[in-house]
Structure 1
Amino acid sequence: MARERARYLVIGGFAVALHGLPRVTEDIDLAISPTLLNARRVLRAMEKAGYGTATMIRPEELVETEIVVCNDRLRVDLLTRPKGLAFPSAWRRRETRVVHGVRVHFASLEDLIAAKDAAGRPVDLADLVRLREALERRKVGRRDS
């Protein structure tokens, strides 16, 4: 993604783990900037990463709807309009970490909470309790500093 200059944010289980709350997940959820240029970049990056199914997707389709791409190891959900997340503002608040030598952009803790709250699935609601506790610990830590 970095080589293609794609704008994306990791959300979902991997983002929950980044915020110190590991849990099992079967896929990676990526919120992506819903522009045609960015959709082209994301699809190019996915193809280069071994996701051949990305070649069957038109950028216009990706801008309009969520798409799932798979390879033999991992499923990736590409979401242009995840509930509770406005990409431009979430992008400004993103957290960037180096994972296995690669810079990866994650949704901030506050944005992840908003997205989980809006999604409302049982797994999201379970994550919400833990994420809100993590946010409270972070706030207490800042006050104590």
Structure 2
Amino acid sequence: MKLNRDLREFVGLLNSHKVEFLVVGAHALAYHGLPRYTKDIDLFVAPRAGNADSMIRAIDEFGFASVGLSASDFLTPDIVVQLGVEPHRLDLLTGLSGISWDEAWSQRIAGTLDGLDVWFLSKDCYIKNKLASGRPQDLADVARLRQIRP
């Protein structure tokens, strides 16, 4: 999946600052074979102190220092930090419904996103997360994903 210049730059900064994160949401769905339109990129961030510090350095270097985020924002469970505007918004998540960071990380899948090395949420974890969310679009995505990859 192709990213716009800003999103690609941000993901590159996460890599250069060694932030532990997983690509989740529609970009993970596309990786698993079902591309669909999305207005953002969802990244699940490891909620650990050193990782939160690295995340703040990446955000500051990207140009969002004035937003006033701190490492503690990435240590609080189940927070969504939104940066930018649709259709190129960043959604930085510290939790996912139905799955822990450790479970998601242990089952991660290596891949590339617009030429950048990233980790994707596994298909099984994706399904578990979307079933726990229970939103109609999520349930439809799970049904479609199960059809093409039983």
Q: TM-score range by the shorter chain?
A: 0.7 to 0.9
Q: CA RMSD in A?
A: 2.0
Task: Say whether residues 1:6 and 2:7 are aligned partners.
Answer: no
Q: Provide the residue aligned with 1:83 in structure 2.
A: 97
* Aligned equivalents of 1:127, 1:53: Cα separation in 2: 35
- 2:22 counterpart SS class: strand
- Rg: which structure is higher? 1
Q: CA contact under 8 A between 1:54 and 1:69: conserved in structure 2? A: no
Q: Distance in 2 between matches of 1:63 and 1:109?
A: 26
1:28 aligns with 2:76: no
Question: Per the alignment, do residues 73 and 129 of structure 1 end up closer, same or farther by CA in structure 2, a change over 3 Å counting?
Answer: closer
Task: State TM-score, norm by structure 2.
Answer: 0.80
SS at match of 2:149: helix
Q: Percent identity?
A: 35
Counterpart position of 1:142 = none
Distance 1:16 1:59, change over 3 A: same
Structure with larger RCO (C-alpha < 8 A, sep 6+): 2
Q: Give the length in aligned residue pairs.
A: 135
Deviation for aligned residue 1:101 = 2.5
Aligned in 2, Cα 1:135/1:87: closer, same or farther, shift over 3 Å?
farther
**Structure 1: unaligned runs, 5 residues or longer:** 137-145
Structure 1 residues 4-46: Cα deviation after superposition (integer angstroms, max 9, x where no partner):
1111111111110010101111011111111121112123223
Which structure 2 residues correspond to residues 2-81 of structure 1 after superposition, within 5 A? 2-50=15-63, 52=64, 55-64=67-76, 65-70=79-84, 74-81=88-95
Q: Per-residue displacement from partner, 1:37-88 (whole Å, max 9, x unpaired)?
A: 11121232233345x1675111102221221112686211111111112111
1:2, distance to aligned residue in structure 2 (A): 1.4
Structure 2: 5+ residue stretches without partners: 1-13
Letter in structure 1 aligned against 2:54: R
